[in-house]
Structure 1
Amino acid sequence: MTFTPAIQWYPGHIAKAERQLKEQLKNVDVVFEVLDARIPLSSQHPQVKEWINTKPRLLLLNRMDMIPSDLYTPWQKWFESQGERVYFTNAKAGKGVKEIIKAAKQFGEGVNERRRDRGMMPRPVRAVVIGLPNVGKSALINRLVGKKAVKSARRAGVTRQLQWVRLSDDIELLDAPGVIPWRLENQGDAVRLAICEDIGEASYDNHRVAAALVDLLQELDFSEVLSSRYGLEVGANTGEEYLYTLAHQRYQGDLERVAVLFLNDFRKGVLGAIPLEFPPYVD
């Protein structure tokens, strides 16, 4: 997917957070990397594996409610074929939280067994919650803790500093600001991040991203949701043409209003459970 001008976003607070996160990783026992279930591949940070080295990592596909349930198993199989452990979560509803707590405790048992072997006292397992902006890290932590322990909102860049949160006597969690590569080489990924609001809105134009979403829905055979929602078929129109026609038929030619409405309908799930990526293959 091509997109001009290129989408790039790397504000100063993210550069600072990345430096602090790298320093804290040496104190962490297990890494929970939160991904957006609508775009599990595009929402992975390419350098996380390098940062954590041999530390155990669990992938948490958040917003599981925003994709069809028949995709859970194919994604699970694909990630497992890549040597990854995957859990599905819905931070807002608290789904999948118990499984994560159980997994963290299991890691803690291993950590403390090794400490006892060295004559050291047991301590809580230290986990870090890491991921791109706005994929639901803070909302997930609040669910794990059972109260609003950290700031959470449906926009990128709310968490600005690292914060340790005590989950229980057994688990401590590090909430880190969203981190993103300093340069997004794959603009197809960048567009999907913008569509899903997993990147700062200052990096893109709503009209162009909304048009890209129309094109993507056509490509993935989801264009019928548009005619159902807006009473206008896509047909042979490009995304740009579709938005232009819809704006002039319904909203006095206000393209920005249509673009924002369309993107919000997708982001809030009004258009239904729509994935923008599928597993590359399933054995």
Structure 2
Amino acid sequence: MSTPPIQWYPGHIAKAEKALVEQLKRVDVVLEVRDCRIPLASRHPQIAQWIGEKAHILVMNRVDLIPVSAVDRWREYLKAQELTPYFTDAQHGKGIAAVAKVAQASGTQVNQRRQKRGMRPRAVRAVVVGFPNVGKSALINRLLKRRVVPSAPRPGVTRQLRWIRLSDQLEILDTPGVLPPLLEDQDAAYKLAICDDIGTAAYDNQLVAATFIEHLQRLQLQSIPGFCLQNPLQSRYQLEPQATGEEYLEALANKQHQGDIERTAHQILTDFRKGRLGTLPLEAPP
């Protein structure tokens, strides 16, 4: 029996995407938010289509969860792709001032173009887009310097689109996390699940934890400088690597939780998501 693929496309996302496509006609600037741990897996396949000719600001959130060496490598890679990344930790406010500054600057350019065409200046409209739980609402609250939109460390908190005025010069559209209707790249889907950037209804904890364990082992074998700590699982749980992720889960369950594999899988994923295994990127630049 083949493993069912990870799929999650709840009704509120389908509805939000339809509304987003409609609102994009009014938008001047697109703030795309990605998860620093998985910059490629957290890039929405339709983002280029949504941006079109609009100004694009790339926000790489959760910078606190990857090492400085990985930040440097990603910055170089993205610059080679003609992208300027802004690395942030929206939860704690790090890097937000630079994002605010570039958003306002984009706004100034929009109004200069309007004036050249004989139109009056107006508040610039920006939209914040990205997968669920990458930190869009936390980013907006930091830009506004107050808690205006609900923000929680789980996918699916924002369920509808909402315009918020940042200043006389800038309005921001908060959107729910958007996913493709079909997650064709299952390797990326597993990474989204590991990082909690997709609803828990989409996946099996044990399968995702076992995949995570094996992914860490592959990263270590590749020995990319600055991309994987030496044996993060062994350091945390004092348990030698096993032949497969499933075997590691089982061995750890027997060692710590009286054989409760589900509880063990949940613990490993929570430890990774909260940074207890150290600063661990799951992707290196190609």
Name the TM tier (shorter chain).
over 0.9
Residue equivalent to 1:230:
237
| Runs of at least 4 residues off by over 4 Å | none
Q: Which amino acid aligns with 2:166?
A: L
Uncovered stretches (5+) of structure 2, i.e. residues with no partner: 221-227
Q: Distance in 2 between matches of 1:103 and 1:154?
A: 26
Residue equivalent to 1:189:
188
**Is the Cα–Cα contact under 8 Å of residues 28 and 127 in structure 1 kept in the other structure?**
yes
What is the deviation of 1:187? 0.6
TM-score, normalization by structure 2? 0.94
Residues 154-189 of structure 1 deviation map (CA, whole Å, 9 limit, x = unaligned): 111110000111111221111000000111111100
**Is the Cα–Cα contact under 8 Å of residues 57 and 85 in structure 1 kept in the other structure?**
no
**Is the Cα–Cα contact under 8 Å of residues 59 and 86 in structure 1 kept in the other structure?**
yes
Secondary structure at the aligned position of 1:111 is classed as helix
**Is the Cα–Cα contact under 8 Å of residues 33 and 59 in structure 2 kept in the other structure?**
yes
Aligned length: 277
Q: Distance in 2 between matches of 1:79 and 1:27?
A: 28
Q: Distance in 2 between matches of 1:118 and 1:220?
A: 53
Q: Which amino acid aligns with 1:256?
A: E
Residues 47-88 of structure 1 deviation map (CA, whole Å, 9 limit, x = unaligned): 111122111212111000100011222211211211222110
Secondary structure at the aligned position of 2:173 is classed as strand
Q: Which amino acid aligns with 1:6?
A: P
What is the deviation of 1:9? 0.6
Q: Pick from 268, 273, 278: which aligns with 1:267?
A: 273
Identity among equivalent pairs (%)? 57
Matches within 5 A, 1:218-257: 218-221=217-220, 222=228, 224-234=231-241, 236-257=242-263
What is the deviation of 1:111? 1.1
Matches within 5 A, 1:141-160: 141-160=140-159
Secondary structure at the aligned position of 2:155 is classed as coil
**Is the Cα–Cα contact under 8 Å of residues 57 and 103 in structure 2 kept in the other structure?**
no
Query: How large is the Cα RMSD of the aligned pairs?
Result: 1.1
Secondary structure at the aligned position of 1:197 is classed as coil
**Is the Cα–Cα contact under 8 Å of residues 32 and 57 in structure 2 kept in the other structure?**
yes
What is the deviation of 1:117? 1.9
Secondary structure at the aligned position of 2:94 is classed as coil
Q: Distance in 2 between matches of 1:100 and 1:244?
A: 44
**Is the Cα–Cα contact under 8 Å of residues 160 and 176 in structure 2 kept in the other structure?**
yes
TM-score, normalization by structure 1? 0.95
Q: Distance in 1 between matches of 2:110 and 2:139?
A: 23
Q: Which amino acid aligns with 1:182?
A: P
Is it true that 1:120 corresponds to 2:116 in the alignment? Answer: no
Residues 172-219 of structure 1 deviation map (CA, whole Å, 9 limit, x = unaligned): 111000000111111100000000000010010001100111101111
Matches within 5 A, 1:147-226: 147-221=146-220, 222=228, 224-226=231-233
Uncovered stretches (5+) of structure 1, i.e. residues with no partner: none
Residue equivalent to 1:35:
34
Q: Distance in 2 between matches of 1:171 and 1:77?
A: 30
Q: Distance in 2 between matches of 1:228 and 1:76?
A: 29
